[in-house]
Copies of this chain bind each other. A is one copy, B any other.
């Protein structure tokens, strides 16, 4: 069993981007600029946005963090997005989700210019992913997983991948990307969800399992074939009195019992999580290169 080390892979990608940025600087080209919008004071959201800004700083991107109080009006947010769309110095725009209930996430996402939508949530970018159009943006988590597979030379062609979950953010895009005629890709893909019957039997056939349902330790050892590749997208806080913090982070996979059967498996934390940052930075770099 080999750990798919997302931290290490992400760092390798960030190091490469750092060199690419330096090269752009040396040749007088524009430096990528990410604008992030954070609404309210949700702790997890703050942590996520901070880690994105930190990654920008580390590799030499320009970043702008725009913070609003929970009560900000939808109109004010949309106006800011319009301003950022028109601002030639900004290459990528992200709005940290979730947003307060009085604001339509859909309206906000669709207000972001398709060419600056580095989170890849705009329907047009989703459609471009379906069409494998190279200038679209693939959202950070699925793109990060594809990068993790690629950098660790996981063979996917002709393999049977089972995706647990059909969320717009992870499950659905993963099923599309893995079945595309690409490398990584070219898998036979089965999408499973809450209505799936015989889930165990289906998982047992999988060469690759993507677990993205948000149910702690859902995937058990008897559902996994010997030698499978397991990618764990889940991350849930569960109480753990043995920890100083009083909790631990748990994925969708019963890691302790599943890991020994796997050829490759991602840990939680330190697997998919760090890859999303690397993917977002790659998208921002791409936006900058494409907009010039």
User: In the complex, are the beta carbons of A202 and B188 less than 8 A apart?
Assistant: yes
Total contacting residues, chain A, CB less than 8 A: 36
Residues of chain B within 8 A (CB-CB) of A172 are: 130, 176
Contact B196 A158 (CB under 8 A): yes
Asked if A125 is at the interface (CB within 8 A of a chain B CB), the reply is yes
Q: Which of B130, B168, B190, B191 contacts A123 (CB 8 A)?
A: B130
Provide 20 A-B residue pairs closer than 8 Å at the C-beta atoms, listed in order of the A residue: A123-B126, A124-B124, A124-B127, A125-B127, A126-B126, A126-B127, A130-B130, A130-B168, A130-B172, A130-B176, A158-B196, A166-B179, A166-B180, A175-B179, A186-B193, A188-B190, A188-B191, A188-B197, A190-B190, A190-B191
User: Within 8 Å CB of A176, what residues of B?
Assistant: 130, 172, 176
0/1 interface trace, chain A 171-207, chain B, CB 8 Å (1 if under): 0100110011100001111111101111000100000
| Number of copies of chain A assembled together | 2
Report yes or no: A192 in contact with B188, Cβ–Cβ below 8 A: yes
Docked complex Cα distance between A189 and B161 (Å): 12
Shortest 10 CB-CB contacts between residues of A and residues of B: A123-B127, A126-B127, A127-B127, A124-B124, A190-B190, A188-B196, A186-B195, A179-B191, A158-B195, A158-B197
In contact, A157 and B188 (Cβ under 8 angstroms): no
Is A256 close to B, CB under 8 A? no
Q: Which of A125, A128, A179, A192 has the largest number of chain B CB atoms within 10 A? A: A179
Instruction: Tell yes or no: A92 within 8 A of B by CB.
Output: no
CB distance from A133 to the nearest CB of B (A): 7
A282 within 8 A of B: no
Asked if B189 and A191 make an inter-chain contact with CB atoms under 8 angstroms apart, the answer reads: yes
A1 at the interface (CB under 8 A from B): no
Give CA–CA (A179, B123) in the complex, Å: 18
Q: Is A122 an interface residue (CB 8 A)?
A: yes
A136 on the interface (CB 8 Å rule)? yes
